[in-house]
Each structure stands twice: as structure tokens, then as C-alpha cells.
């Protein structure tokens, strides 16, 4: 339990195989945006209708659109740059869980903003990105569907929050309990890798 193998440097295999700097930047940027988007969303729903609430709704949507837009280059980058392998001593069930949770994170990063966009369309509220570009409405106005999509959007958000918390907990467990250096793959810049 948390003991290091004396015959093997626990971080050597991870240090030699880190994510690229671009992957690290996209990971950090999207993580910050998701935390900000969730926080703004949680705060704004409890407010009475006011100019502040409307402004926060706009910011929340802009963050969601940005996350959705950044997801495309992130997926493209990942397809062209194989992620570093998991530590060889990691149990098979943990490797399977890690791969499954990463896939689910990517799906939710698409589904959460898309459900918000669909909800806005169904409620008859066009999304104007950064106050400059009107995004096309994906659905005709339908209040009943809008409320259903609002519930779905909230459910997906809380599912994403739960998964992100598990993701962070797993990373900390590998760093503080397993001492396998797994966290260093994402948070240690390596020279020569764009």
C-alpha cells in the first residue's frame, strides 16, 4: 500500500513519456473554463431576473461555446499525438477505468455545451457568442422541450462535475499513495515536445 518498488524508479517510465506542451495547455485551459462555467451556472440560477443575471447567462454560454470549440482541436491533437502509456505496474482494472473515464469526459465535454445550446434554441433564446456572432438555433421554439433540455443540461453538468472530481481524486491517489509519478505526465513540461 503506497510502497515504492526498490528495484524500479517509480517515476522514470512516466518522466520519459509526458504529454506534449500543447496537450497540457489545452487540458489546463479547458479545465479552468469548465470550473468557471459550472461556477457561473450554479450562481446565476439562484438570482432573480436582473441585468446581472442576463449578463451571467451570456458569460456562461460563451464559456460553453469556447469549451465546445476547443474540444475539436484537442481531439485532433490527441489523434495525431499518442498519449503516454500508463505505468506498467498499474492494475488492469485501473487502466480500463482510466481509459473509460477519459472517453466519458470527452463525450460530456461535447454533450454539456450542446445540451445548453439545444435548450436555448428550444426556449427561443438565440446564443450570441461574445455578443458578436449569432449561433444558429438548432431547434424551433418549444417551451416544454426547453424545460426537458434544461433538466438534461443540469444532469449532464452534475455528471461531468462528479467525473472531474473522480479524475482529480485518482490523479492525487497516484501521486500521493502510489507514488508512480503519473501526475508528472500532465504537469511537467518537457523540452522538445510541442
Residue 7 resides in a domain: no
What integer pLDDT is reported at residue 147 of this predicted model? 95
Q: How many domains does the chain have?
A: 1
Residue range of the domain that includes 17: 12-187
Residue at 194 is within a domain: no
Residue 9: the pLDDT is: 39
What's the pLDDT tens digit per position in 63-115? 999 999 999 999 988 888 888 777 777 788 888 888 899 899 999 999 999 99
Q: Give domain status of residue 133, yes or no.
A: yes
Asked if residue 120 lies in contact with residue 127, where contact means CB atoms within 8 angstroms, the answer is yes
In a domain, 1, yes or no: no
Q: How far apart are CA 60 and CA 128, in angstroms?
A: 12
Domain assignment present for 178: yes
pLDDT given for residue 39 in this prediction: 94
In a domain, 4, yes or no: no
Instruction: Indicate whether 181 belongs to any domain.
Output: yes
d(C-alpha 69, C-alpha 55), whole Å:
21
Intervals of the chain under pLDDT 50: 1-16, 189-193
189: which residues sit within 8 A by CB, 6+ positions away? 18, 21, 24
Would you say how long the chain is, in residues? 194
Q: Taking the CB of residue 187, how many other CB atoms lie within 10 A of it?
A: 13
| Rounded Cα–Cα distance for residues 3 and 162 (Å) | 29
pTM: 0.78
Q: Give the closest residue to 116 by CA, choosing from 161, 64, 173.
A: 64
Q: What was the pLDDT predicted at 167?
A: 86
Tell me the CATH number at 44.
1.20.950.20
The pLDDT score that the predictor gives to residue 171 is 81
Amino acid at each position: 500500500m503506497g510502497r515504492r518498488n526498490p528495484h524500479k524508479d517509480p517515476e522514470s517510465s512516466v518522466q520519459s513519456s509526458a504529454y506534449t506542451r500543447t496537450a497540457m495547455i489545452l487540458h489546463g485551459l479547458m479545465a479552468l473554463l469548465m470550473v468557471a462555467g459550472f461556477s457561473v451556472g450554479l450562481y446565476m440560477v439562484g438570482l432573480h431576473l436582473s441585468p446581472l443575471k442576463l449578463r451571467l447567462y451570456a458569460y456562461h454560454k460563451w464559456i460553453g461555446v469556447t469549451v465546445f470549440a476547443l474540444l475539436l482541436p484537442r481531439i485532433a491533437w490527441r489523434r495525431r499525438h499518442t498519449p503516454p502509456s500508463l505505468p506498467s505496474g498499474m492494475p488492469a482494472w485501473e487502466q480500463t477505468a482510466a481509459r473509460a473515464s477519459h472517453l466519458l469526459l470527452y463525450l460530456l465535454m461535447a454533450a454539456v455545451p450542446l445540451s445548453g445550446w439545444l435548450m436555448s434554441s428550444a426556449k427561443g433564446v438565440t446564443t450570441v457568442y461574445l455578443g458578436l456572432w449569432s449561433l444558429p438555433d438548432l431547434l424551433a421554439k418549444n417551451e416544454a422541450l426547453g424545460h426537458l433540455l434544461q433538466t438534461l443540461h443540469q444532469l449532464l453538468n452534475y455528471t461531468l462535475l462528479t467525473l472531474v472530481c473522480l479524475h482529480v481524486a485518482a490523479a492525487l491517489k497516484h501521486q500521493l499513495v502510489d507514488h508512480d509519478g503519473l501526475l508528472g505526465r500532465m504537469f511537467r513540461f518537457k523540452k522538445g515536445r510541442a
